[in-house]
Chain A
Amino acid sequence: MKIVKLSLISLFTISLVACKKDTKTTDSSKDSLTAKKDSVVIPEIHKEYYGIYTGEFAGKGMITSEDGEEYEGDIYKKIALKINRITKDSVYGQSIVEGNQRSFRGIFNEGSSSFVLDEPGNDNTDGRFEVKLKSDSMTGKWTAFNKSAVKAPSKTLKLIKKEFVYNPNFMLDKNSDLIDWENPKDFVEKYTDEETGKTETYTSSKNRVASEAVFKINASTQKLTEKEIKNLRKLDMEIIKNAVFARHGYAFKKQTYRNFFEQTDWYIPVSDNVDNELSAVEKDNVALLNRFIKYAEDKYDQFGR
C-alpha cells in the first residue's frame, strides 16, 4: 500500500514539473486506481445473454366461445422477456405480455444455464418463470403466484432471441389482414322474406377494415400534411400513427394494434413507454394524426361539419 502511495506521490511530483497535458493524464490514472479500490459495482457476468427473447406463451384455460359457452382450450399469447443484467446472484429484466410490462428479479444457474425469475407479485398476473437457455432459444414454464386469479395459471414458453432495431422504414406487410376484429359494431338490418312478404329485423355485427393507405403513408420518414390524411378513415389514421410507436418497440395494450403489428416480422415489443424515443418528425405527425383522429371521432357521423 505504501509503495502505491509513494509511487503516486512521486508521479504527482513529476507531473507538477511536467506540462499541463501530462498533469491531466496522471490525474485520470489516479482516479481510475481509486475507483477500482472502493468499487461497489458488482461485476456483470454473461453479458452475451442480455437481450430480448420473444415467442409463444401458451397454457390451458377456460375460453368463452362466441355463443357464450365456456370450454377448456389452449390460450396462446405473445410474450417478450428482456434480460437486462446478470450478476453472480441476481438477474434483472422485464416481461411484456399484452402491453403489460412487469419487472422481474431472479437468479441464473450457470451449471444448468437456467433462470428462475420472479415478477413483483403485486399484480394478479404476476408469477414465476423457470426457463432454460440453449444457444439462442429459451424454453420453460411460468406459474402464477395466485392460481385462481388468472385463466391459465401455468403456461409454457418457447422463445427466440431477437435483436430489436429501430428502422423508420418498417411498414406493415403488404399481405396483412386489414380487418380490425376487436371492435365490431352492431347494425340492425331488415330482411323481407320474398314469399311471405314478412319483414324481419336482425342484428349483424361488422368489423372495421383499414385501407391500402396504411401501406403507403409512413409517419416516421416524412412530415405529413393535413391534405394527405384528410380523406382517411379513423382506423387508417390510428394504424399510421401507431406504426410510429411499433417501430420504437412500444408494447401495445390494445389488442387491435397488437393484431396488426404482430403480423410483421420486425415488431418486437420492448417497452411500455417510448415517448422519449420519437423523432421530431414523428412527434409532429403524431400530434397531427391525434387531431384528425379526434375530429373523426367527434364529427364523422355527427350533425355538423
Chain B
Amino acid sequence: MTPIKKNISNSLKTLLIIGFGYFFWLMLKITLEYIPLNTNVSFLMIKQTEVTERPEYLYFFYTHVYTSIFVLFTGFLAILRKDFGLKSFHKNAGKIYIFLILLFAAPSGIYMGIFANGGFLSKISFVILGCLWWFSTYKAFNLAQQKKFKEHKQWMWRSFALTFSAITLRIWKVIIVYLFHPNPMDVYQIIAWLGWIPNLLLIEYLISKKHL
C-alpha cells in the first residue's frame, strides 16, 4: 500500500468510527426510553394490541431491545480486529456478540417480525432478516472454531451488515419521511426492505472485489 492510499484508508476509518459513534449514541438514547420499564412508551404506544393480547410479547420485546444495544457495541468492537493491549479482546467481544445474537436478539427479532407493523410485506422482510442474521452469525462462529479465519471474517461482515440494519433502517426512515411524507405504515413497508438489502449487497460487492 502506498503512503497516500494508507492515509486515505486511515482517515476513512476514523470517519467511519466517528459516524458509528454518533449513530450508536442515537440508538442508545432510543434504548434508554425503555428504562425504567414502561409498557406504554415510545414504540410500544402503537403496539398495545400485542402487549395486551399476547402475554409473551413484552418478554420478547425487552429481550430484543436490551440485548441488541450490546450486540451493536460488541459487534463494532470485534469488527475493529484489535486487542487494544488486552488479551483475547477481539475473541471475547466476538463471543459476546455471537451468543447474544444466537440466543436472544435474533430469536426475539424473528418473533417480533411476525407481528411487525406494516402488514405482510414488512413481516416477511423482518422474518427473513432475522433468519439470515442468526444464520450468518452461526456460520461465522463455526468458521472461527474451525480456524478458517478468512471465511470467518467474511461471514462476520455479513452478520454485522445485518446488525447494522438497525441503524440504516432508521436513517432511511428519516430520509424518506423528509422527502415524501408518506403515511407511517407505508414508510414501514419500504424501510423494512431498504434497511438491510443494500447493506448486504454492499458487503457481497466488497467480498467479490476481494476487499474483505
Q: How far is the CB of A289 from chain B (nearest CB, A)?
A: 11
Chain B contacts with A in 176-190, Cβ cutoff 8 A = 177-178, 183-186
B173 part of interface (Cβ distance < 8 Å): yes
Interface string of B152-184 (1 = CB under 8 A from A): 000000000000000000110110011000011
**Residue from B40, B45, B185 within 8 A of A231 (CB atoms):** B185
**Residue from B42, B43, B170, B177 within 8 A of A300 (CB atoms):** B177
Known A226-B48, A231-B185, A231-B186; contact A304-B42, beta-carbon cutoff 8 A: yes
User: Chain A contact residues (Cβ within 8 angstroms of B): what range?
Assistant: 20 to 34
Interface string of A214-249 (1 = CB under 8 A from B): 000000000001110011110000000000000000
A8 part of interface (Cβ distance < 8 Å): no
A150 to B208, CA, bound (A): 74
**Residue from A230, A295, A298, A302 within 8 A of B185 (CB atoms):** A230
B17 part of interface (Cβ distance < 8 Å): no
Known A231-B185, A233-B183; contact A302-B49, beta-carbon cutoff 8 A: no
A231, closest chain B residue (CB): B185
Q: How far is the CB of B19 from chain A (nearest CB, A)?
A: 13
- Kindly list chain A residues whose C-beta atoms are within 8 Å of the C-beta of B42: 295, 298-299, 304-305
User: Chain B contact residues (Cβ within 8 angstroms of A): what range?
Assistant: 20 to 34
A296 part of interface (Cβ distance < 8 Å): yes
B206 part of interface (Cβ distance < 8 Å): no
Secondary structure dominating the interface of B: helix
A301 part of interface (Cβ distance < 8 Å): yes
A291, closest chain B residue (CB): B45
Known A226-B48, A226-B49, A301-B178; contact A296-B184, beta-carbon cutoff 8 A: yes
Chain B contacts with A in 33-82, Cβ cutoff 8 A = 40, 42-43, 45-49
- Kindly list chain A residues whose C-beta atoms are within 8 Å of the C-beta of B48: 226, 291
Chain A contacts with B in 128-187, Cβ cutoff 8 A = none
The 9 A-B pairs with the shortest beta carbon distances in the complex, nearest first, are A231-B185, A295-B45, A305-B43, A226-B49, A301-B177, A231-B183, A303-B170, A291-B45, A304-B30
